Amino acid sequence: MRTDPLTVDRFRSCLLQALNCKGSTVPDVVVGFSGGLDSTVLLSLCRELREQGVLKGVGALHVHHGLSRLADDWVNHAEALCQSWEIPLQVHYVQCGQGQNIEESARNARYQVFEESLQVGEVLLQAHHQDDQVETLLYRLVRGSGIHGMSGMPTTRSLGVGQLCRPLLVFPRSALEDYARRHGLEWIEDDSNTDTRFDRNFLRADIVPVLEQRWPGMKSRVARFSEICQDSVQLLDELAKEDLQAASLSVTFPGVGELQVVDCGWLSEQTAARRNLVLRHWLSVLDLPVPDSEMLERIYNEVVLARVDAEPELHWGGCSVYRHRHWLVALAALPRLGECKSQSSAVLKGDDFCLSFAGNGDVIAQWYDSSTGVSALRATTLNGQWSLRRDVMVEPFALPGRKGRKTLKKWLNELGVPAWLRERLPVLHKGAEVVAIPGVLVAADFCAGEGPGWSLKWQL
């Protein structure tokens, strides 16, 4: 199937469109440069745009994975080419895990370098092309990806403080090969690219050619399918955003601060498809791992539909979800309390202090010369014993402005402190007398009232 050739003008148009540049110039770019055919063509195109004044700054970044005996030779090649083209080059050396999925380990190490190296406003350019997009879609298809996965690699996305852009996605590899021949480019061949033990190499060598022979033009149609999926994903994301806004609110919890929580009642009224869409979007917004369909079903059956007073929880992949009253709460898995012991009396330093509990955050105290409208400790009551809630036995006590003396358990219930936080609450006490719990309460006998005092905060 004939395709239009890759030219500098076509590349310029694709780059400006991808970056949504309204003028004729784009920000400084850094090319992810392996030294292979694809990245060499991309670097050559950027060099041409620099000469035209379209690109002001062009740099290159090479990652040495240490996985090939030829890796040092590839660095030498990259340095020689960039020097001859007067393009500054960064070389980063990484350690890749030696587990079964070496591809994923190398990719993760590479993207970590990319993210850490980008400066504010810089754009990292990658040389992925249409054939790479097809391989990605087929790989995700056999792994059971949903519509988000089938949307393929995006042309642009944020990366750290900068942006990632793939301006060659519309071009097949054959167009890059033709450009390289016409311009007399030289590149290196990665010896691992022929090893079909790696999934992508297997697809590239054994599967895609058979499909293309049976259905000529298959690659361009599969790439078009990814664009259709991208449109569908955009619509779904817009719907999920609207639903989440209607179903969520912000609630402040001791130790963990303000969290976006979702109304379990709202979730229970939705279809499974719409409910799962909102849950996935919510977890993505919170930058938490999105679970598979099985775990989403468990979240609904075991947490959302639980009794209001049950306080169930589920954990997966470094993430936890809890039911607190009628809210669904999600956050990164809390550190294990382990052997965290009660602390000795705090020592003041200047006008404040910070007391650390191993594996359970810090207690911070700030002195206020006048009333702040919050419960504060009297000046002489800060020194005492610090213990975790799980380790302390205290007598009933009173709270300012509330009637009666009650047990700590009853006060925590009335104040709405979640069960999953109670055991790790840091308690300031004097023997069996509760003095304060940072961010939760100050006992009436130790409250500063309208006068100056200490304000306590606990941060996990």
Which long-range contacts does 118-121 make (Cβ < 8 Å, 24+ apart)? 118/30, 118/159, 118/160, 118/161, 118/162, 119/28, 119/161, 119/162, 120/161, 120/162, 121/27, 121/28, 121/161, 121/162
99 is in an annotated binding site: no
Tokens of 4: 């239009």
39 is in an annotated binding site: yes
* Apex 132 CA angle, 129 and 136, nearest 5: 140
Tokens of 196: 């079909």
Which long-range contacts does 288-291 make (Cβ < 8 Å, 24+ apart)? 288/319, 288/330, 288/331, 288/332, 289/316, 289/317, 289/318, 289/319, 291/316, 291/317, 291/319
Q: At what angle do helices 37-52 and 8-18 cross, to 10 degrees?
A: 90
> 319 with 283: CB under 8 angstroms?
yes
59 is in an annotated binding site: no
Q: Torsions phi, psi of 315, nearest 5?
A: -135, 140
37 is in an annotated binding site: yes
If one counts every other C-beta atom within 10 angstroms of the C-beta of residue 377, the result is 23
Position of tokens 């069996």? 432
Contacts of 395 (CB under 8 A, 6+ apart): 432, 433, 434
> 136 with 145: CB under 8 angstroms?
no
371 is in an annotated binding site: no
Distance, CA of 55 to chain centre: 30
Can you say which residues are annotated as belonging to the binding site? 34-39
- Positions at the binding site for ATP: 34-39
